[in-house]
Amino acid sequence: MEVTNKIPKGGEFIIKETDAQDVFTPADFSEEQNMMHQTALDFVEKEVQPLLERLDNQEEGLMRGLMEKAGQLGLFGVSIPEQYGGLDMDFPTSLRVTEGVGGGHSFPVAFAAHTGIAMLPILYFGNEEQKAKYLPGLTNGELMGAYCLTEPGSGSDALGAKTKAVLTEDGQHYVLNGQKMWITNGGFADVFVVFAKIDGERFTGFIVEKNTPGLSLGNEEHKMGIKGSSTRQVFLSDCKVPKENVLGEIGKGHLIAFNILNIGRIKLAAACLGASKMAASLSVKYANERVQFKLPISKFGAIQYKLAQQAVRIYAAESAIYRAGMDIFHKEQELLASGKSHSEALLGAAREFAVECAILKVEGSEVLDYVVDEGVQVYGGYGFSADYPMDRAYRDSRINRIFEGTNEINRMLAVDMILKKGLNGELDLMGPAQAVQNELMAIPDFGGEEETGLFAAEKKTIAKLKKAILMVAGTAVQKYMNSLAKEQEVLMNIADMAIKVYTAESTLLRVEKEAGTKGEEALATQIDIARVYLADTIDQVNKAGKDAIASMAEGDEQRLLAMGLKRFTKADLFNVKDARRRIAKTLIDANDFVY
């Protein structure tokens, strides 16, 4: 496979090998970036954690008060230009801050809705007057924002919205009528980004202020988790909005909605990362404290497995999140250099890596679900008690697989976007896919020069796993052609293969790069983590591949594909038990989540 030393294309990881020196890792963060992360962590620990019960009880004004404090600290303004009161810092820093607030249960939900889907549409699509009017207050916490897209009849199908906007006879206002639901921050927002169809057809964004006549709110929703966040319906009844408050171009609201979601997906992954670390830390500490059979339960292999696997999955997700985050930043810089505006550059960069954003949304949310589920198990009966922290962590986690597009939608989107890039000529998928087909018909080559160095064998395995993806995806395209979109189970099989391979490769590249500066001995735990994750990935790719092949092929074709899959998922056995025990020992000895 070709090694790239330039900014990769989105989805290109499937067909190209990346050099470890070309990826960004958390070890590369600057002192300033780590300070911003620490500020966010300290805010959650000192300001949010002591108030969790009161927040969950929806104490009047409490969440808004916390949000105002966060704004005053500068946490809202990380990505906002200085002219609007922001810090004008880069995209990876905004991810780092989002990770920092991630352990705040309901707070990061309010935070992300405000700083992401509420502020960014105005920043990237608003005109200068709109930016000057709204962004300073949204940045310093004087104003709060909300985003109104979902309706009772349109969730994943956002463009199926029924809310209408009609221009008044004098041409000065649009009259909005409709209903929005699941609106985060709805109870205390001052500024609503609302989507409606002008004359029932042209999907368009509007900025609607809280006190606009005709705008009203439903009661707070009773939710399974994230109880401290305000979630209300928003009703628009002959709501007159000045024509100056049209956001972006008329009929181009989909550009706002979908481009902002790309950024929101990777940021959600970062928030899940922060929450995962918090839950894993609680698991380690409790395992050391809890004594059964005269021993701390951290002494038992079954518990060590859970602690280690939490660390493995968190480290892998972290590796992939910041790899993609820096790729987005580098693409943004490239677009800026080509003459694009700040807004066009970041949106274009996020659009380029929309595949990775979808992948990370799925991986990040499912890692958090795994971590809190095993956290409950480590706590045992106390994990089921609302008097202990895993109860809230478990319930709050579940929404993340629904937010920012369900994980099912994101799986199918990731595959669809990769295939479209191939059809559009943005990615050369046909050449590598054909090479894999040719290889299936050839006699396996067991020779070749033996490579040396850290992860030499593992890199070969990753290359073969990518061939497995190309084989299965290529077969699906040939088999179903234009009806592939209807084969959702097969699409999700392919997505699972791609998600795990991207994450496994990111982990190996991170460890290889850091070992190059710190030495392999200093990275012993991380090397174990990378190898355990890869061992799991091999099995998961094999399972997803087998399911897809069994769905698509019969007879000789099925046997040929199954033999190819076996060849591409073959690797030497690795003693994951001992590796997990070594990983767990690192955590247990530190009495905290560290690696």
User: What's the CATH number where 79 sits?
Assistant: 1.10.540.10
β 295-296/215-217 pair status:
unpaired
CATH number of residue 204's parent domain: 2.40.110.10
**Strand, coil or helix: what is 194?**
strand
Domain-ending residue, one of 146, 169, 189:
146
Q: What is the pLDDT of residue 346?
A: 87
CA atoms of 136 and 80, how far apart (whole Å): 9
Q: What is the pLDDT of residue 5?
A: 47
Answer whether residue 419 shows pLDDT above 60.
yes
Q: What is the pLDDT of residue 159?
A: 78
> Which residue in 176, 179, 180 sits closest to 212, CA to CA?
176
CB atoms within 10 A of CB 136: 17
What's the whole-number mean pLDDT along residues 212-224? 97
> Which residue in 112, 545, 546 sits closest to 361, CA to CA?
112
What's the whole-number mean pLDDT along residues 172-191? 97
Position 5 in a domain: no
Residues 70 and 116 in one domain: yes
Residues 228 and 280 in one domain: no
Is residue 113 within 8 A of residue 184, CB to CB? The reply is yes
Average pLDDT along the chain: 95
What's the whole-number mean pLDDT along residues 311-322? 98
Q: What is the pLDDT of residue 450?
A: 67
Based on the residue annotation, tell me whether 2 is a catalytic residue of this protein.
Answer: no
Answer whether residue 368 shows pLDDT above 70.
yes
What percent of the chain is modeled with pLDDT above 90? 91
Stated pTM of the model: 0.96
Position 420 in a domain: no
Domain-ending residue, one of 225, 247, 269:
247
Residue with tokens 């061939």: 467
Based on the structure, what is the number of domains in the chain?
4
β 3-4/291-292 pair status:
unpaired
Residues 310 and 383 in one domain: yes
Q: What is the pLDDT of residue 229?
A: 97
Query: Pick the residue with more confidence: 534 or 595?
Result: 534
Exactly one of 318, 363, 374, 404 is catalytic; which is it? 404
Answer whether residue 326 shows pLDDT above 50.
yes
Residues 180 and 158 in one domain: yes
Residues 188 and 312 in one domain: no
Q: What is the pLDDT of residue 453?
A: 85
> Which residue in 93, 136, 97 sits closest to 346, CA to CA?
93
What's the whole-number mean pLDDT along residues 374-392? 97
CA atoms of 191 and 204, how far apart (whole Å): 16
Residues 54 and 119 in one domain: yes
Position 8 in a domain: no
What's the whole-number mean pLDDT along residues 344-361? 94
The 8-class DSSP code of residue 450 comes to: P
Instruction: List phi, psi (to 5°) of 464.
Output: -70, -40
Residues 496 and 564 in one domain: yes
Residues 222 and 187 in one domain: yes
Distances (CA, A) of 583 to 101, 309, 521, 523, 533: 26, 9, 14, 11, 12
Q: What is the pLDDT of residues 75-125, one digit of tens each?
A: 999 999 999 999 999 999 999 999 999 999 999 999 999 999 999 999 999
CA atoms of 366 and 344, how far apart (whole Å): 31
CA atoms of 450 and 433, how far apart (whole Å): 25
Answer whether residue 444 shows pLDDT above 80.
no
Q: What is the pLDDT of residue 448?
A: 59
Question: 495 lies in which domain range?
Answer: 427-589
Position 53 in a domain: yes
Residues 348 and 443 in one domain: no
Q: What is the pLDDT of residue 1?
A: 41
Residues 390 and 403 in one domain: yes
* Residue 499 CB burial class (10 angstroms; 0-12, 13-18, ≥19): buried
CB atoms within 10 A of CB 132: 12
CATH number of residue 496's parent domain: 1.20.140.10
Position 14 in a domain: no
Which H/E stretch holds residue 18?
strand 17-18
Position 1 in a domain: no
Residue with tokens 């190209």: 16
What's the whole-number mean pLDDT along residues 13-30? 95
Confidence label for 308 from pLDDT (cuts 50, 70 and 90): very high
Answer whether residue 3 shows pLDDT above 60.
no
Residues 510 and 436 in one domain: yes
Q: What is the pLDDT of residues 485-542, one digit of tens each?
A: 999 999 999 999 999 999 999 999 999 999 999 999 999 999 999 999 999 999 999 9
Position 6 in a domain: no
What's the whole-number mean pLDDT along residues 15-31? 95
Q: What is the pLDDT of residue 275?
A: 98
Q: Which of 173-187, 250-264, 302-316, 493-507 has the lowest mean pLDDT?
A: 250-264
What's the whole-number mean pLDDT along residues 544-567? 96
Residues 237 and 265 in one domain: no
Domain-ending residue, one of 222, 247, 272:
247
CA atoms of 417 and 258, how far apart (whole Å): 13
Position 50 in a domain: yes
Q: What is the pLDDT of residue 7?
A: 84
- The DSSP secondary structure of 230-255, one letter per residue, reads -EEEEEEEEEEEEGGGEESSTT-HHH
Is residue 193 within 8 A of residue 135, CB to CB? The reply is no
What's the whole-number mean pLDDT along residues 67-75? 97
